[in-house]
Chains A and B, each alone.
Chain A
C-alpha cells in the first residue's frame, strides 16, 4: 500500500506541487518567525552583555511610579545618588564604580537631519575615563560641553567623521559640538544612536539632581560577582536611608534579557498569528487537492478494495501521501524561511540596523516546523481520505459521475452559526457596555465559521447572480463557466474560502483604519482650538524650544502640555506603585484657548484652584466621585488634590489632568516629558506668518515639526496607514496562498475535465474561448471569495466603533472606494490565477482529450 501511495505522488507530481508550495509558504513564515526571533534575541543578548559589563549594579530598592509608553525600559525604580559611586569605589573587592548617566539626545548628521535609524532609540551617555568596556577606536575622548564621541555604527550612519562639527540637542538645549573620537562597544547595537559625553557634561544634562538610575561596579581580580554584592550590601544599608540595593551583573543582565524576551515573544506571537492564518488557508488547498485526487482515483481505490485492501489501508495510503506532501513542503519551507530572514537581515543592514551572527537554525525550529506542516497536511487530507475509504468498491467502479453529497446538514449548521454570530454582533452593538468585546469576538468567530460552512450553498446562489453578467455578456462562455463553478459548490467554496479569510481581515483592517482616521479627525476638529502645535519626532520637545517659541512676537500664548507618572490614591486606596497613573499638566487657562474638553460633571475652572480633572472611564474604573480627595505621592512628599471635574475627551489620553503648578508638584522632573506646545497666534497675526516663525524657531532642534489641526490629523492618519501597510503585508501572504489555491483548483479541474474540454474543442471551441471560460471561472471564484470576505470583515468591523468608543474609536467610516478597489483587484487576481491553468488547457491536444480514458 505504501508503495502505491508513494508511486501515486510521483506519477502526479504536478498535481501535488501547489499543495507542497502552499505548505512551503506557510511553514516558511513559521520557521522565519522563529529564526528571526532567535536572531533578534541573540543580537539583544549581545547588546545586553556589552552594555552591561559590570560585575555588580547598585540601584534604587523600590519600584517607582513609572510608565513606559514604549515598553523599552521595563520596570522603573527609584534613583540613587551618583555620588554613591565614590563611596562604593572604596569598598573591599571593588575595583571601579561608575554612575550610569545617560539620557535622550538628538544628533544632527552630516546631511543636516537627525541621526535616527528606523525606530531605534537615540541616547547620550557619560564616557568614564578608565571604563575598560568601551574602546576608543580613533581620536580622543570628549572633554567639555562642546565635544562628543560617537559609537562606531552611529558614526557611520551619521555620515560624520572624527573632527567634524555638528549640532546636538542635549537636555533640551541646542549645542554646537565637535566629534572628537570614535568609540566601540564591541557588539552590534541594532541601530541605536549612541553619543558619548564627558562625565560633567552628561551629569549636568541627565542628572541635574545628582540622582541616577544605576551605578556600575567592577570587582578587583579574583572577586566573584556574588562576593562583590555581599561586600556592597552592608555599605549600602549604612549609606542610603532611602534604600539602594546591589545585585550581581548576571542578575541584572538576566532581568534585561527577560524584558527583551518578553517583548520579542509578543512580536513572535503576533507574527505566528499571521503564519497560522496562512497555514489555515494552505489547508484549504491541500484539502481541495486531495478531494480532487481522490475523486479521480476512485476506480483505483475500488480496484484495491476489490483485491482485498481494507478501508483503513486505503485511508492510510492517502494520509501517507498527505504526510509526504507536508514533509516536503515543510522542509522547503524551513529553507525558504531562512532565506527570508537572510533577506530581512540584509534589509535591516541597509537601513542601519545591524543584527548579529549567522542565521540561527536550532533543532526545535526544525522539529516544530516539520511537525506543523505535516500535521496541517494530514488533517486537511483526512476528510477526503475518509470518503475514499468508505466508498463501496461497486459504487466506485460504476462509470456514473460521483454525485455531490447533500449540503443540507452543512448549510443548517452554517446558518445556525451565522445567525448566532450575527446575533452576538447585534448584542454587542445594542449593549456594548456588558462584555462588548467578548461578545464581538465570539460573534466574529461564529460568523466566519458559519459563512465557511454555508459557503457551498451560498456559492450556488451568489455565483449564479455574479455570473449573470458573464452569461449575458460573453455567450456561450459565461454559461459554461458558471456551470463549472456551480457544479462542485464545495470545491468552489473551499477555493474561495481561502481567499475569503484573508479578504475578511483586509476588509476589517480597511474599515478600522478608516474609522480610526475619521475618529481622530473628529476628535481634533472638536477639541483642538489652538492655531498650531509643535511636536517632536522623538516624543519629547526640548525645553530650549519652549523658550524660543515663547520669545516669538507673533505668538499670543504657548500652552505646554507635559505628562508624567504619579502615584495617585483615591479614598480607601493605598499609595503604591500599583496605583500609578499618567498625569497631564496644562496651564489652567489653556482650556477654551488651546483645547476644548467636554465636562460630564464639575468645572474645569477648578483646576486653577489646585483641583484635578479625571477622565470619565478612569473615574468609573477606580470608583472616584466628583469632590473626592486624591493623594499624590512622590519622593518629595504627598500632595492632596480634589476632583473638580469629570471630563469626557479623546484628545487627551491620560486619565488625570492637572494645572501645570500642581503637575510640577506631583510628577518628578526626571519623569516629565513635554509632549506638545499648543500655540495661538497674537491678535492680527496671519497664521501663515506664525507658522513661518515657528518653523524657523523649531528648525535648529531638527526633530520638531509644526502642525496645524489639519496636519495633526493627517500625521495621525499617516501613522494609522503605516500600521495598515504592515498588516496588509502580513496578510498578503495568506492572500497569495489563496490565489495559489485558485490556480491549484483550476489546474486540477482542467485535468479532471480533460475529456469534456476535448469534446468542446471537437465541436469547435477555440483555444482562446477555452482560456476565456477558465478565466471567467477564476474571476468568479476570486470575486465570490472577496465579496463575501469583505462583507464579513466590514460587518464585524462596523460594530467595533460602538464597542470601542472609550478607546477613541468614535466614528464609523467605511472606505467604499477602497473596498470596491479590492473587488476589482480580486477580478484582476482572478485573471492572473487563470493564466497558467488556461494556457495548459488550451494546449491540450484535442485528440488526447477525446481519446483519454
Chain B
C-alpha cells in the first residue's frame, strides 16, 4: 500500500486518469458560515478522495471542520466554493430533488444518536431507504446483512426495545442495505459502551473488506480510528495529516503532535503539519 503525502499548501492535481475506484472526492472545498466580521471559515480549502473498499476515519479537535466536511461531502450542507463529486456526479450542481435521490440511492448514513424511526420495527427501519425509493428489497442481501450484524432475532422489535448497540447495528444495516456508493458515519460509536463499539466497528470494517463498501467515519475515538484503512487529520478547516493502516498508538501520536504544534505556533501549524506515516 502506498502512502500518499498530501499538503494543504498546494492542491493535489486532479489526475485525469483517476481510477474509477474513487467513489467520492472533493476539490478546493471551502465552507464559510456567516458573513463579514463574524464569518467563520469551517473548511479552508480541502482536496480529498475516498476510494472504493476503504474505511476512512476523519479525526481532529472540536471545531476542526470534520463534521462540516462530512456534511458537505454528503450533500447535507452547501459548499461556499469547490466541488464535490460522488460516484461521478457533481453534488454541487444538484437541486433539492436530485440531492434527495442521491441520498436515497447512493449514500448511507449512520449518526451518533437518533438513527431510527421509533414507530417502525427494526426490519422496517432497515428497508426504509428502499421503501422510500420504492425499490424492491434484495432478500439475499438483506438476510446477509442482518445476519452479519446479528439482528436476525430482533427484526420485529421497535427501536425502544433494542439496546443502544443493537440500535446502531440496525442503523448500519440500514446504511448498507441499498448498496450505497459511500456510507457516511458521524461518530457512530459515540454513544456506545466499548463492547458494543467493538462489535460495530468490526462490522463496519468487514462490510468494507467483504462487501467492498466505501465508508467514511468521523470520530473522536482513536480506538475507532484504528479500525480504519486510513485516517485523515483535520485542524482549522485544513487537512493536516494522513495515516495509513493506523494503530491506536500511532493515531494518538499524531493527535499529540497536532495539539502541541497548535499550542506552540498557530501560524506555522498549517505548513508544518505534514505528517506522513506508513505501514
Listed in ascending order, the chain A residues whose CB lies under 8 Å from chain B are 399, 401, 475-476, 479-480, 482-484, 486-487, 755-756, 759-767, 769, 846-847, 850
Docked Cα-Cα span, A487 to B118, in Å, equals 9
Q: A846-B76, A847-B76, A847-B77 are in contact. Are A756 and B114 (CB under 8 A)?
A: yes
- At the interface, yes or no: B22 with Cβ under 8 Å from chain A? no
23 cross-chain CB contacts under 8 A? A399-B113, A401-B160, A476-B132, A479-B120, A483-B118, A484-B119, A487-B118, A487-B119, A756-B114, A759-B114, A759-B117, A760-B128, A760-B132, A762-B76, A763-B103, A764-B104, A764-B129, A765-B132, A766-B100, A766-B132, A767-B96, A769-B132, A850-B76
Listed in ascending order, the chain B residues whose CB lies under 8 Å from chain A are 71, 74, 76-77, 96-97, 100-101, 103-105, 107-109, 111, 113-120, 124, 128-129, 131-134, 160, 174
Docked Cα-Cα span, A765 to B71, in Å, equals 17
Q: A479-B124, A763-B104, A764-B132 are in contact. Are A401 and B118 (CB under 8 A)?
A: yes
Give B107 Cβ to nearest chain A Cβ, in Å.
Answer: 8
State whether A480 touches B119 (Cβ < 8 A).
yes
State whether A765 touches B114 (Cβ < 8 A).
no
Docked Cα-Cα span, A344 to B103, in Å, equals 56
**Which residues on A sit within 8 Å (CB–CB) of B76?**
762, 846-847, 850
**Which residues on A sit within 8 Å (CB–CB) of B97?**
766
Give B176 Cβ to nearest chain A Cβ, in Å.
Answer: 12
**Which residues on A sit within 8 Å (CB–CB) of B108?**
763
Interface centre among A484, A759, A762, A847 (most CB of B within 10 A): A762
Residue of B nearest to A754 (CB): B114
Q: A483-B120, A847-B76 are in contact. Are A759 and B115 (CB under 8 A)?
A: yes
State whether A764 touches B103 (Cβ < 8 A).
yes
State whether A850 touches B131 (Cβ < 8 A).
no
Docked Cα-Cα span, A755 to B124, in Å, equals 18
Contact of A755 among B114, B120, B129, B134 (CB under 8 A): B114
Q: Identify the 7 closest CB pairs spanning chains A and B, nearest first.
A: A764-B104, A483-B119, A476-B131, A764-B103, A766-B100, A763-B129, A847-B76
Q: A763-B132, A765-B100, A847-B71 are in contact. List 17 more A-B contacts (CB 8 A).
A: A401-B160, A475-B131, A480-B117, A484-B119, A486-B119, A487-B118, A761-B103, A762-B74, A762-B76, A762-B109, A763-B109, A763-B128, A764-B100, A764-B101, A764-B132, A850-B76, A850-B111
**Which residues on B sit within 8 Å (CB–CB) of A482?**
119
**Which residues on A sit within 8 Å (CB–CB) of B128?**
476, 760, 763
Q: A475-B134, A759-B111, A847-B76 are in contact. Are A764 and B117 (CB under 8 A)?
A: no
**Which residues on B sit within 8 Å (CB–CB) of A761?**
100, 103
Residue of A nearest to B105 (CB): A764
Give B123 Cβ to nearest chain A Cβ, in Å.
Answer: 12
State whether B117 touches A483 (Cβ < 8 A).
yes
Give A292 Cβ to nearest chain B Cβ, in Å.
Answer: 16
Docked Cα-Cα span, A401 to B104, in Å, equals 27
**Which residues on B sit within 8 Å (CB–CB) of A764?**
100-101, 103-105, 107, 129, 132-133
Residue of B nearest to A769 (CB): B132
Docked Cα-Cα span, A847 to B116, in Å, equals 16
Docked Cα-Cα span, A475 to B135, in Å, equals 11
**Which residues on B sit within 8 Å (CB–CB) of A487?**
118-119
Residue of A nearest to B184 (CB): A762
Docked Cα-Cα span, A847 to B70, in Å, equals 11
**Which residues on B sit within 8 Å (CB–CB) of A762?**
74, 76, 103, 109, 111
**Which residues on A sit within 8 Å (CB–CB) of B116?**
759
Give A314 Cβ to nearest chain B Cβ, in Å.
Answer: 26
**Which residues on A sit within 8 Å (CB–CB) of B71?**
847
Docked Cα-Cα span, A486 to B118, in Å, equals 12
**Which residues on A sit within 8 Å (CB–CB) of B134?**
475
State whether A767 touches B117 (Cβ < 8 A).
no
Give B68 Cβ to nearest chain A Cβ, in Å.
Answer: 10
Residue of A nearest to B103 (CB): A764
**Which residues on B sit within 8 Å (CB–CB) of A476?**
124, 128, 131-132
**Which residues on B sit within 8 Å (CB–CB) of A850?**
76, 111
**Which residues on B sit within 8 Å (CB–CB) of A484?**
119
Contact of A480 among B111, B115, B120, B129 (CB under 8 A): B120
Residue of B nearest to A483 (CB): B119
Interface centre among A484, A761, A846 (most CB of B within 10 A): A846
Give B31 Cβ to nearest chain A Cβ, in Å.
Answer: 11
Give A425 Cβ to nearest chain B Cβ, in Å.
Answer: 37
**Which residues on A sit within 8 Å (CB–CB) of B117?**
480, 483, 756, 759-760
**Which residues on A sit within 8 Å (CB–CB) of B74?**
762
**Which residues on B sit within 8 Å (CB–CB) of A401?**
118, 160
State whether B100 touches A756 (Cβ < 8 A).
no
Interface centre among B100, B111, B118 (most CB of A within 10 A): B100
Docked Cα-Cα span, A301 to B160, in Å, equals 24
Give A474 Cβ to nearest chain B Cβ, in Å.
Answer: 11
**Which residues on B sit within 8 Å (CB–CB) of A475?**
131, 134
Docked Cα-Cα span, A361 to B133, in Å, equals 60
Give A852 Cβ to nearest chain B Cβ, in Å.
Answer: 10
Docked Cα-Cα span, A759 to B111, in Å, equals 9
